[in-house]
Amino acid sequence: MQKVSTENGATQVVKIRQSDNVRKAYTFSESKRLWQEAQQLIPGGSQGTRSPMYPDFPNYFSRAKGCRMWDVDGNEFIDLLCSIGPIILGYAYDRVDNAVKTVIDNSFQSSGNHPVQLELSKLLIELIPCAERVRFLKTGTEATMAAARLARHITGRTNIAHCGYHGWTDMWRRGYGVDNSCGVHKGTWEPILPFNGTAESLEELFKKTTEKFAAVFLCPVDTKPFTKENYQNIVDVAHKHGALVIFDEIKSGFRTALGGAQELLGVTPDITTLSKGLGNGYPIAAVVGKAEYMEGMTKTPTIGTFSVEALSITAALATLKELKEKNVVEHLWRVGQRLIDGLNQICRDYNMDGPVAFADPVPSIFRFTWDPKMGNNCTHPAHNYFFGECIRYGLFFSNWHVGFVNYSHSNKDIDEALDICDFVMAKTKRKF
């Protein structure tokens, strides 16, 4: 197959010969056994949001390091999902884990605050353009809930306009086919109104809605077009109507740029939510924003018992220091683009006119789909077959979520992943 590699800034097409060795598909007998047992212990059999997507699937993993994971059957995988985004440096990353170990020895949960909160707050204020104050939480969903409550408190309004996914809580379920029979009262999501990601559609929403809006939520992974002009126009429209602008940078934070999409685009929101890559896998989230707004949190308590635990805050501090010192974002973009270029070259090699790989919105966050308009909801049979076979041959690749690369992915790892994709694409071409 042919792959596009970048060396010293030049684009070069290199012929890579696929191994003559016959690949052997993995088996998952122990994973299947544990999955059957889980049906009697856990609702749906999984603590995650998804049941197995295929008959042959590694449901349980025993360890992970760098960009690789090993399941309970001993199978090794290159991971292009990165735990759905949090793993930005790599699994079991030494600098992060070693920092956490020092905190464990001195107790990490107490009845008071730990000084590391101040260190991380200072660094976030330095890095994130809109940040003047910081509130730590545990999950992205908590962060978006807290930001929404804060906006409602500040403005005295109820309605919220949004574009993208912002978590699993009741208020964000509008548009996901959820009704009262699923335990979600419509009163929680009726004031949450979607728009299609442009200033024009936002203006139209404001004009046709009687009640005024407290805030506009934007998820940079979902809000298109991803341009300075579009985002600035959205901010301007929101402010014209007295609404705050909240960037949900749960996915895009630290991957688009060290200061997030707002730094890359040069468009500053009022408030930002962060999580995922912030802690390299440790459970932490943050709401950051302008001081005049963030001080409102003293009137709308948004703190939990575990918000003060120092393990995750220490992990986040070590993660951000590494991101800053090692120029990680540049590496993520480079290996991500190598993967995207390679996937598209494979499609051309096999004359596949359906599938396409693309940055979403930057190379460190990518999609590969048979139907770009459908994205994660693609139903093309070849789409699901391809991803299922990639998993059976050692590439953990998702058919339902954007993919991610991390700092531990080397050019060699990406080329190995592409070699698996090439092998599987040949099978897909023969079948479809």
- Pairing, β 192-194 against β 159-163: parallel
- Owner of token pair 């805030």: 215
Judgement on whether residues 52 and 128 belong to the same structural domain of the protein: no
Q: Judge whether 162 and 234 are in contact, CB under 8 Å.
A: no
- Pairing, β 244-248 against β 213-218: parallel
Question: Mapping DSSP to helix (H, G, I), strand (E, B) and coil, where does residue 126 land?
Answer: helix
Judgement on whether residues 187 and 291 belong to the same structural domain of the protein: yes
Beta carbons within 10 angstroms of residue 304's beta carbon: 12
10 Å CB burial of residue 12 (0-12, 13-18, 19+) is exposed
Judgement on whether residues 262 and 138 belong to the same structural domain of the protein: yes
Judgement on whether residues 68 and 183 belong to the same structural domain of the protein: no
pLDDT of residue 10: 42
DSSP classification of residue 22: P
**Dist CA 27 CA 33 (whole Å):** 12
Judgement on whether residues 267 and 280 belong to the same structural domain of the protein: yes
Q: Judge whether 114 and 313 are in contact, CB under 8 Å.
A: yes
Residue 370 maps to a domain: yes
Tokens of 16: 């890579």
Q: Final residue of a domain: which of 326, 357, 373? A: 326
**Dist CA 35 CA 42 (whole Å):** 10
Residue 400 maps to a domain: yes
Residue 315 maps to a domain: yes
Q: Across the strands, what pairs with 15?
A: 2
Residue 301 maps to a domain: yes
281 Cβ partners below 8 Å, 6+ apart? 83, 86, 87, 91, 315
Judgement on whether residues 281 and 404 belong to the same structural domain of the protein: no
What angle (nearest 5°) sits at the alpha carbon of residue 328, between those of residues 327 and 333? 110
Please give the helix or strand (H or E) that residue 70 lies within, else none: strand 68-71
Residue 86 maps to a domain: no
**Dist CA 406 CA 226 (whole Å):** 22
Residue 89 maps to a domain: no
Judgement on whether residues 291 and 228 belong to the same structural domain of the protein: yes
Judgement on whether residues 315 and 241 belong to the same structural domain of the protein: yes
Beta carbons within 10 angstroms of residue 420's beta carbon: 21
Residue 357 maps to a domain: yes
Judgement on whether residues 111 and 49 belong to the same structural domain of the protein: no
- The count of structural domains within the chain is 2
**CATH (domain of 37):** 3.90.1150.10
Given strand 356-359, what is the order of strands in its sheet?
356-359, 365-369, 403-404
Residue 184 maps to a domain: yes
**CA 350, 353, 354, 356 torsion: positive or negative?**
positive
**CATH (domain of 280):** 3.40.640.10
**Dist CA 28 CA 230 (whole Å):** 47
**Dist CA 397 CA 412 (whole Å):** 17
Q: Maximum CA pair distance of the chain? A: 67
Which residue type, as a one-letter code, is found at position 149? R
Alpha helices by DSSP H, 61-185: 94-104, 116-127, 140-155
Tokens of 171: 């208020």
pLDDT of residue 102: 92
Judgement on whether residues 317 and 350 belong to the same structural domain of the protein: no
40 Cβ partners below 8 Å, 6+ apart? none
pTM of the model: 0.91
pLDDT by residue for the chain (432 residues), tens only, comes to 444 444 444 444 334 434 435 689 999 999 999 999 999 999 888 887 566 677 788 889 999 999 999 999 999 999 999 999 999 999 999 999 999 999 998 877 777 788 999 999 999 999 999 999 999 999 999 999 999 999 999 999 999 999 998 998 888 887 665 555 578 888 888 899 999 999 999 999 999 999 999 999 999 988 999 999 999 999 999 999 999 999 999 999 999 999 999 999 999 999 999 999 999 999 999 999 999 999 999 998 887 888 888 999 999 999 999 999 999 999 999 999 999 999 999 999 999 888 899 999 999 999 998 887 776 667 788 888 999 999 999 999 888 889 999 999 999 999 999 999 999 999 999 998
pLDDT of residue 308: 82
pLDDT of residue 52: 65
Judgement on whether residues 127 and 254 belong to the same structural domain of the protein: yes
Which range marks the domain in which residue 142 is found? 94-326
Phi then psi for residue 343, to 5 deg, are -60, -45
Q: Final residue of a domain: which of 326, 356, 376? A: 326
Please give the helix or strand (H or E) that residue 77 lies within, else none: strand 76-79
Q: Final residue of a domain: which of 326, 353, 380? A: 326
**Dist CA 13 CA 368 (whole Å):** 21
Question: Nearest 10 degrees: CA dihedral of 325, 121, 94, 142?
Answer: -130
Judgement on whether residues 125 and 51 belong to the same structural domain of the protein: no
Residue 167 φ/ψ region, left for φ over 0, alpha for ψ in the -120 to 50 degree band, beta for the rest: left
